[in-house]
Amino acid sequence: MLTLLELLKDGRFHSGQALGGALGVSRSAVWKQLQQLESDLGLSIHKVRGRGYQLAVPLMLLNSVDIREQSKDCPWTVLVFDSIDSTNAEALRSIELGAQAPFLVLAERQMAGRGRRGRKWVSPFAENLYYSLVLRVDGGMRQLEGLSLVVGLAVMQTLRQFGIVGVGLKWPNDVLVGPKKIAGILLELVGDPADVCHIVLGVGINVNMQKTDEVDQQWTSMRLESGLQVDRNQLVARLNMMLKAYLARHQLQGFASIQEEWEQNHLWQGRAVSLVAGVNKIDGIVMGIDQQGALRLKVDGIESVYSGGELSLRLRDDS
């Protein structure tokens, strides 16, 4: 099926006969496959008598060779899936099967993309980036301190390289443009965090998506912000290099060396917020983060620190 897509991705017209010839199947088999592409992947295909078939929008598909070429300092194995439940889930399965880290799992779409706090991550075909980098950590807990915040910073800097203006961070690891989410990060860990473990750095970036009814919060994409279509292979390569640099700094100097830079890019610094954990809510003022990446919140005049995967921040109406 993807072979047919490979033939069509240039956005030009291809006759049924030419497509059938290239794939070694009949014209009616081509027709069936085209219908499948439309229904399975949600793609729109023009069918014009006498000219053939053309994708309504040309596609740039992910390509592991291209990515390796463009990020030569990151010699990680790159696995690209056409369709998968979740790149994080696939990464965890590969770890179980003994795959050697570091390695990278990418997909054109996710059928069960997962976000923080049990939410789903909307993952249409060939539009966005679904990226899971697997690392082996054997330096103990210190190597994990503030790690998800470091990933957020690397994603933010990568987006700036692509000319996205006004991009910043929201604790713990949302990447926003103003009030709109452009990227999210989900870290998952297996093994013993105090000894040897594997960590999956899951990154979702809204890249070329221009509309969807499925996202239940304010969102934007690189395309909507810049007006330009983004080459996702180039994006992966730049993210690889940025992450590699930040991870090396984190490993050598610890999160304390990154804390200030993170705070400078925190869009909600000094804002009046509610910290939400399930049905519980604490109102306070954001003071910043500590040397482990925990949130410093002033509540009734007293500063306290908060951390945990289930926590999230909301702006208060009076801020």
What positions carry a catalytic annotation?
A: 116, 181, 314
93: contact with ligand BTN by CB under 6 A: no
Considering only residues 167, 186, 197, 222, which one is a binding residue for ligand BTN as defined by CB under 6 A? Answer: 186
Stretch that binds ligand BTN, among 29-37, 68-76, 183-191, 238-246 (CB under 6 A): 183-191
Does residue 253 have a known ligand-binding role?
Answer: no
Question: Which is nearer to ligand BTN, 16 or 115 (by Cβ)?
Answer: 115
Size of interface with ligand BTN, in residues (CB under 6 A) = 20
235: contact with ligand BTN by CB under 6 A: no
Question: Which is nearer to ligand BTN, 53 or 306 (by Cβ)?
Answer: 306
- Structure tokens belonging to residue 93: 């399965």
Stretch that binds ligand BTN, among 16-24, 60-68, 114-122, 142-150 (CB under 6 A): 114-122
Rounded-to-integer distance, Cα 119 and Cα 203, Å: 14
Rounded-to-integer distance, Cα 122 and Cα 137, Å: 29
Terminal Cα-to-Cα distance of the chain (whole angstroms): 52
119: contact with ligand BTN by CB under 6 A: yes
172: contact with ligand BTN by CB under 6 A: no
Q: Does residue 271 sit in helix, strand or coil? A: coil
Find out whether 138 and 189 touch, Cβ atoms under 8 Å.
no
Q: What are phi and psi of 161, to 5 degrees?
A: -60, -30
Does residue 233 have a known ligand-binding role?
Answer: no
- Find the shortest distance in angstroms from Cβ 181 to ligand BTN: 7
87: contact with ligand BTN by CB under 6 A: yes
Rounded-to-integer distance, Cα 310 and Cα 254, Å: 24
Does residue 114 have a known ligand-binding role?
Answer: yes
202: contact with ligand BTN by CB under 6 A: yes
Stretch that binds ligand BTN, among 51-59, 112-120, 145-153, 309-317 (CB under 6 A): 112-120
Residues composing the chain: 319
Considering only residues 53, 121, 171, 262, which one is a binding residue for ligand BTN as defined by CB under 6 A? Answer: 121
Considering only residues 71, 132, 220, 221, which one is a binding residue for ligand BTN as defined by CB under 6 A? Answer: 132
- Structure tokens belonging to residue 128: 């966005």
User: Judging by DSSP bridges, how do beta strands 272-277 and 197-205 pair with one another?
Assistant: unpaired
Does residue 88 have a known ligand-binding role?
Answer: yes
115: contact with ligand BTN by CB under 6 A: yes
168: contact with ligand BTN by CB under 6 A: no
SS3 for 195-227, per residue? CCEEEEEEEEECCCCCCCCCCCCCECCHHHHHC
Find out whether 188 and 128 touch, Cβ atoms under 8 Å.
no
Considering only residues 20, 152, 172, 184, which one is a binding residue for ligand BTN as defined by CB under 6 A? Answer: 184
Does residue 291 have a known ligand-binding role?
Answer: no
88: contact with ligand BTN by CB under 6 A: yes
312: left (phi over 0), alpha (psi -120 to 50) or beta: beta
Q: Does residue 319 sit in helix, strand or coil? A: coil
Rounded-to-integer distance, Cα 195 and Cα 185, Å: 24
User: Judging by DSSP bridges, how do beta strands 103-107 and 77-81 pair with one another?
Assistant: parallel
Q: Which residues are annotated as a binding site for biotin?
A: 86-88, 110, 114-116, 181
Residues that bind ligand BTN (CB under 6 A): 86-88, 110, 113-116, 119, 121, 130-132, 174, 184-186, 202-204
